[in-house]
Chains A and B, each alone.
Chain A
Amino acid sequence: MPQQKNRDAILFDHSHDGIDRRGFLKCMAWAGTGALCVLEGGVLKSYGLDDPAHIAKAARGELSFVQISDSHMGFNKPANSDVIATLKAAVAKINALPVPPEFVLHTGDISHLSKAEEFDTVDQILQSASTKNVFFVPGEHDVLEDDGKQYRERYGKNTKGAGWYSFDKKGVHFIGLVNVMNLKAGGMGSLGAEQLEWLEDDVRHLSKSTPVIVFAHMPLWNIYPEWGWGTDDSAQALSYLKRFGSVTVLNGHIHQTMQKVEGNVTFHTASSTAFPQPHPGGAPSPSPMKVPAEQLRGLLGVTNVNYVRKHHALALIDSTLE
């Protein structure tokens, strides 16, 4: 591990995972306001967005893509009566990036009520993004009433089962998982036996140095089980990914950014483009959070992900819609 004389160098590495508590908390603290977290050879480094020199360096990746999430098209309650405008603002953010992204990942809750016109509106808005490549996974709001039939017809061509799939881009293996179907009473998100079997098989042939990026709607780590913010069988899915040197898990669902590192796995949740939700346990329920209009866009956002092969590094930059 290279020793660095920078203020974010690892000081105490009790768990031998390359992350000390101070560094991790620092990254967590920034995550909500816009932060750059770089994972280099297992070492997590964090920079505030007021550090442009570092950002410029980290943003020069070989593969750059953007994650957006929870556009909830059709939502019209006081927490945000114009989700069209905020999704358009997210697309404007994407189009303003210095390097156009290779593609966009939408991690679900595209629509609010699975209505055809809601999906149509999102598709139309995304047409104006600098990249036309958009990969989706469904949120629970996208598979209402019809067990996801409409979702799969629109976004799930060439996918397996309920809409899961994988693809490779520039040496990175991407896996889109579906954890919003067949939910059990009292439970959280669920992948199910068939999907887990597929996942195990999907990664079997990969060398352990292949960077893996998994994306799904509900968090694949237990953020707050009381609100169902987790996935019941995520531990089994992650066990298939243990042998890989670099695994990144991108989720949506909780409408706020949050990050955690466990061994070689970095977990990250993205902001919504529609409305914020309270911090875990910070309100009686996860109902949409009503904030003064001038604060709303500061709580919505997009996530830009850059991969630098040479440094074996992934940089995640959350930016708000302001």
Chain B
Amino acid sequence: MRVRKRMRLRKSVLIFCVAASAMLALAALPTVEKSIAAGPPAAEVKIDNFSFTPATLTVKAGTQITWTNADDIPHTVVSEDRSFKSKVLDTDEKFTFTASKPGTYSYFCTIHPKMTGKVVVE
């Protein structure tokens, strides 16, 4: 019994130490964040109910844009000038495009052309 109690005590000391170091780490977060921010900025477009959301996405040049198909039906993401063109995306499949050149890109689903969207790259 006594041994167990001691062990419990040791455990709580250990937990305290872990918690304290975690707090220290939190305090140091700005540095961590900086290193994440060094990756490319990202943006998401959801494909749902036969539409792109947001319909118009405005991003800084270099942003990595990811489209995810949440419909039960396959869709595509194809810009009218063909500067980006996804494969057919079945349910939950993704397409990623990094917008490097500023401009306005109108795109649509080539299977359901009533589905249209725009990417504005600043």
Instruction: Check if A145 sits within 8 Å of B88, measured CB to CB.
Output: yes
Counting chain A residues whose Cβ lies within 8 A of the other chain, the interface size class is: 20 to 34
Q: Which residues of B contact A286 (CB under 8 A)?
A: 50
- By secondary structure, the A interface counts as loop
Contacting residue for A112 out of B74, B87, B110, CB 8 A:
B74
A141 with B74: in contact, given A185-B80, A285-B51 (CB under 8 Å)? yes
Q: Which segment of B19-27, B29-37, B111-119 sits at the interface? A: B111-119
Instruction: Check if B108 sits within 8 Å of A144, measured CB to CB.
Output: no
Instruction: Check if A285 sits within 8 Å of B110, measured CB to CB.
Output: no
Q: B52-90 interface mask toward A, CB cutoff 8 Å, 1 = contact, 0 = none?
A: 000000000000000000011110000010000001101
Q: Which residues of B contact A226 (CB under 8 A)?
A: 114
A7 to chain B, nearest CB (A): 41
Answer yes or no: A48 CB below 8 A from chain B CBs.
no
Bound-state Cα–Cα, A178 to B108, Å? 21
Identify which of residues 30-69 in chain A touch chain B, using a CB-to-CB cut-off of 8 Å: none
Instruction: Check if A188 sits within 8 Å of B114, measured CB to CB.
Output: yes
- Closest chain A residue, CB of each to CB of B80: A185
Bound-state Cα–Cα, A228 to B51, Å? 13
Counting chain B residues whose Cβ lies within 8 A of the other chain, the interface size class is: 20 to 34
Instruction: Check if A186 sits within 8 Å of B116, measured CB to CB.
Output: yes
Instruction: Check if A183 sits within 8 Å of B110, measured CB to CB.
Output: yes
Answer yes or no: B106 CB below 8 A from chain A CBs.
yes
Instruction: Check if A287 sits within 8 Å of B88, measured CB to CB.
Output: no
A77 with B91: in contact, given A285-B51, A287-B50, A287-B73 (CB under 8 Å)? yes
Instruction: Check if A186 sits within 8 Å of B91, measured CB to CB.
Output: no
Identify which of residues 274-322 in chain A touch chain B, using a CB-to-CB cut-off of 8 Å: 284-288
Bound-state Cα–Cα, A113 to B51, Å? 20
A143 to chain B, nearest CB (A): 9
Instruction: Check if B111 sits within 8 Å of A140, measured CB to CB.
Output: yes
Bound-state Cα–Cα, A247 to B60, Å? 55
Q: Which residues of B contact A284 (CB under 8 A)?
A: 49
Instruction: Check if B113 sits within 8 Å of A113, measured CB to CB.
Output: no
A-B contact pairs, 28 of them (CB 8 A): A77-B72, A77-B91, A79-B72, A113-B90, A114-B88, A140-B111, A183-B110, A183-B113, A185-B108, A185-B116, A186-B108, A186-B113, A186-B114, A186-B116, A187-B113, A188-B113, A188-B114, A226-B114, A227-B114, A228-B112, A228-B114, A285-B49, A285-B50, A287-B50, A287-B71, A287-B72, A287-B73, A288-B73
